Amino acid sequence: MTDHIEALKIILAKDYGVVKFFKTFEYPSYQRDLAEEDLRQALEGVISEEDQLSSKAQQWLLDFDKMIHSLNVKRYWNSIQASEEREITRIMKVIFSEKEEQHVYRVKKNIVAQRDLASDSLRINIQEHLGKRLSSLHTPYSNKKIKSSGQTEIDEDHSIDAVYGNHDIPSRDHTTTETKQEKIIDETSPIDLKSFEEAYSALDPNCMWTLESGRRVEEVIYQYARNLSGESCLHSFIINDADLNAKSLFTNNEWEEITTSEVKIFQNLKLHL
């Protein structure tokens, strides 16, 4: 309270108003009652010292209620409150922006992981297919020479190209669309629609991945996946770029944006926010 009394003496000596006292100690708007009580006690402290400022402090105390409810004081507190609200809005925008960036990063990371998984699975299927084809060609001709349509003898230890001759090397297209879709949608696995609904409801629309077209990725996925008959990676809000059904939910431009967007690593939210 000593600091308040000394500050009030300076204010009284220079004929400043009540607002100067509140500004000196930077009271926030929610501490208005405390500010007024500190002013009252400071006035009583100045009066008790019985010096040349005591009479002026006595007059302030007599007019105390009138002063603290004056138009000038009301304007001061209103300006403090407006400034605080602007600062809160700024902080919330920063928080929402960082949350949205982190959410988009997680979605993009899942897409990349799903793409890598699909590539690995396709590579394994091709290797298995090639192995079976080679086995079927080598077995009937054990310890013999193989002749191509041009009657050229080929050792069975030669390269794959030599063994195949005019035959076409199996391509990744040998994996049927039906097989691919079975891996994307498992008709035999039950769907936990309740958890899916709860997960979607918990998402903040402001933090969803909003495409340049204005559509939100999570919202599009939700509207489609809730009607699926089997479990899909879409129920975890993961997009597999090999899923033709998922691709059909978006325009060509939207799909290009989803599958080519750069994945960036963002720092965690600052604790003081």
- pLDDT of 161-180, one tens digit each? 443 444 444 444 444 444 44
**Of 155-159, 207-211, 258-262, which one has max mean pLDDT?**
207-211
The reply to whether 160 and 125 lie within a common domain is: yes
DSSP state string for the chain: -HHHHHHHHHHHHTT--HHHHHHHTT--GGGHHHHHHHHHHHHHHHHHTTSTTHHHHHHHHHTHHHHHTSHHHHHHHHHHHHHHHHHHHHHHHHHHHHHHHHHHHHHHHHHHHHHHHHHHHHHHHHHHHHHHHHHHHHGGGTTS-EE-TT--EE-TTS-HHHHHTTSPPP-GGGS-HHHHHHHHEETTSPP-HHHHHHHHHTS-GGGS-B-TTS-BHHHHHHHHHTT-SSEEGGGGT---TT-HHHHHTS-HHHHHHHHHPPP---PPPPTT-
Question: 132 or 213: whose pLDDT is higher?
Answer: 213
User: What digits encode the pLDDT tens for the residues 229-256?
Assistant: 888 888 888 888 888 888 999 999 999 9
Q: Are residues 57 and 135 part of one domain?
A: no
Asked if residue 93 and residue 65 are part of one domain, the reply reads no
Q: Are 189 and 252 in a shared domain?
A: yes
Is residue 268 domain-resident? no
Q: Are residues 59 and 96 in the same domain?
A: no
Q: pLDDT band for position 135 (50/70/90)?
A: low
Could you say which of 37, 69, 101 is where a domain stops?
69
For residue 98, the enclosing domain spans: 86-260
Do residues 248 and 189 both lie within one domain? Answer: yes
> For the residues 158-162, what does the mean pLDDT come to?
44
pLDDT at 165: 47
Q: What is the pTM of this model?
A: 0.37
Q: Is the domain of 36 the same as that of 148? A: no
Selected residue with higher pLDDT from 160 and 185: 185
Total domains, the chain: 2
Let me know whether 98 and 213 are in one domain.
yes
Are 225 and 148 in a shared domain?
yes
- Could you tell me if residue 237 is inside a domain? yes
Q: What does the pLDDT read at residue 219?
A: 93
43 domain-assigned = yes
Query: In this model, does residue 151 exceed pLDDT 70?
Result: no
Indicate if 140 and 23 belong to the same structural domain: no
